[in-house]
Amino acid sequence: MNLTTKVLIGMAAGLAIGLLINLTGLNAEGSFVNEYLVNGFFLVVGKMFVNALKMLVVPLVFFSLICGVCGIGDIRLLGRIGTKSFALYMLTTAIAIATAIAIAGGIGIGEGMNISSDANFTGKDAPPLSQVLIDIIPTNPVSAMANGEMLAIIFFAILTGVSILMVGKKAKSLVANIELLNEVMMKMVTIVMSVAPYAVFCLLAKAIADLGLDLFWQLIGYVVVLVGTLLFHLFFTLQAVLVLFSRLSPTKFLRKIRNAQVFAFSTSSSNATIPVTLRTVTERMGVDNSVASFTVPFGATINMDGTAIMQGVATVFIANIYGVDLGIAGYLTVILMSVLASIGTAGVPGVGLIMLSMVFAQVGLPLEGIGLILGVDRLLDMIRTAVNVSGDAVVSTVVAKSEGKLSLAVYDDPNAGILDPESTHIDEESEKELADTVSAIHDK
């Protein structure tokens, strides 16, 4: 059985067990199941796994991006990849939110509804664009890495790569070593991914046992329209972009992206999923590392199609509930704000709500409105993160294809890059050889 199948089984089992615990009330405060299983075993295993993924992000992005820049070897090409991916990320996000507003507005969700908000939501200001631009340049690269500031890390890695290129021949061995480090990091991704079926089971069992589906029925209109629009974007808009710009097969894409989607779904974080997305687009889809090492972490930070859709649907929903008519100008502001807000915010769980509060403040919708959808947001976050990550992969593929940096042989091969048990196997002969070399160095 391959890893994707195993992970999908883990996911389904986690959903089922979580729902069972929730529906039978086994999860009551202080009960054995609650203390030792849901908030014990499931929580610990799930968090350890997410930590392991996050642990890989910074070194992986740093090393692979330096390799990427050195691999391109042409600064102008780097500029082109940057411009193209930025334009496509903004375009897909804008289409996403416009579709969401059109669908939700056309259906008129929330009209004539009168539900009271019981949760208090306090918004947080998203940083202004000027600050986002300033922060791209880190005052201290080490602290940027420690805090996982993705745009700053990308900037520093690119600058390092460009400087290595300028040093030229003398830096050859350095590049070879960084390439090796990159390979080692990729191996680590494989190791972490191999425990995913069990970890995904724990993550989902915990989430569903805590949340249940009660609230969903109350907000069913919102949930259905949102999920419907997310699926429309994933299966129609993104695939149309793929076909239109690169003439690649959407079915192959959809089959190969599944792993990254499941990781995104289980962790609700595009950032934590970077290692898996990177592996998926390079090894399963054939995107050259020189493109993917830039477009994937860049996309995880600035591209959030699913989140933009949530903002569009939520804005229409809450405007209708409060009887506010935003008008065309209001909705255009919403589109612009969402696109801008997505640039400065990292792909971490729940950040979409913070972006929403920024949009609401701009168009004058009451922040308490967000309290209405708070209860169902955790699960919807999982779905929209999967869409966010799919958008990153589509753009990476399109940009790579347009620059002749996509291997069609890999893209067309259904088995390319599939993780099999062999991939974490230690080859005894090479292990011994390496040990001998190390002891020889010691003896010297």
- Binding span for ligand ASP by CB under 6 A among 30-38, 188-196, 253-261, 377-385: 377-385
Q: Which amino acid is at 53?
A: L
- Binding span for ligand ASP by CB under 6 A among 134-142, 181-189, 383-391, 414-422: 383-391
Considering only residues 87 through 146, tell me which ones interact with ligand ASP, judged by CB under 6 A.
Answer: none
Contact flag: residue 348 with ligand ASP (CB under 6 A): yes
List 246, 289, 315, 385, residue binding ligand ASP (CB under 6 A): 385
- For residue 255, the minimal CB distance to ligand ASP (Å) is 22
Measured from the CB atom, the residue of 14 and 349 that comes closer to ligand ASP is 349
d(CA 106, CA 83): 34
Binding mask 257-296 for ligand ASP (x = CB under 6 A): -----------xxx--------------------------
Measured from the CB atom, the residue of 17 and 351 that comes closer to ligand ASP is 351
CB neighbours (10 Å) of residue 392?
Answer: 34
Measured from the CB atom, the residue of 63 and 263 that comes closer to ligand ASP is 263
8 Å CB contact between 57 and 148:
yes
d(CA 343, CA 71): 27
Measured from the CB atom, the residue of 79 and 350 that comes closer to ligand ASP is 350
- Cα distances from 376 to residues 2, 46, 163, 310, 383, in angstroms, run 32, 20, 48, 12, 12
8 Å CB contact between 315 and 359:
yes
Number of residues that bind ligand ASP (CB under 6 A): 15
Binding mask 291-320 for ligand ASP (x = CB under 6 A): -------------x--x-------------
- For residue 264, the minimal CB distance to ligand ASP (Å) is 7
- What does the CA dihedral 269, 272, 274, 275 come to, rounded to 10 degrees? -150
For 348, phi and psi rounded to 5 degrees?
A: -125, 165
d(CA 243, CA 225): 26
Q: Which amino acid is at 315?
A: T
In the complex, which residue's CB is closest to ligand ASP? Answer: 352
Q: Which amino acid is at 421?
A: P
- For residue 258, the minimal CB distance to ligand ASP (Å) is 17
Measured from the CB atom, the residue of 67 and 262 that comes closer to ligand ASP is 262
User: Residue 29 corresponds to which tokens in the numbers above?
Assistant: 């405060």
Measured from the CB atom, the residue of 239 and 385 that comes closer to ligand ASP is 385
- Binding span for ligand ASP by CB under 6 A among 20-28, 123-131, 189-197, 342-350: 342-350
Measured from the CB atom, the residue of 233 and 405 that comes closer to ligand ASP is 233
Contact flag: residue 384 with ligand ASP (CB under 6 A): yes
Name every residue whose Cβ is closer than 8 Å to that of residue 275 and which is 6 or more positions away in sequence: 53, 56, 57, 60, 189, 192
Name every residue whose Cβ is closer than 8 Å to that of residue 108 and which is 6 or more positions away in sequence: 320
DSSP string for 82-126: HHHHHHHHHHHHHHHHHHHHHHHHHHTTTTT------S-----PP
Contact flag: residue 68 with ligand ASP (CB under 6 A): no
List 388, 390, 396, 397, residue binding ligand ASP (CB under 6 A): 388
**Please, how many CA atoms are within 13 Å of residue 312, restricted to the half-sphere of its CB?**
33
For the chain, the straight-line distance linking the first and the last C-alpha, in angstroms and rounded, comes to 47
Residues that bind ligand ASP (CB under 6 A): 268-270, 304, 307, 347-352, 381, 384-385, 388
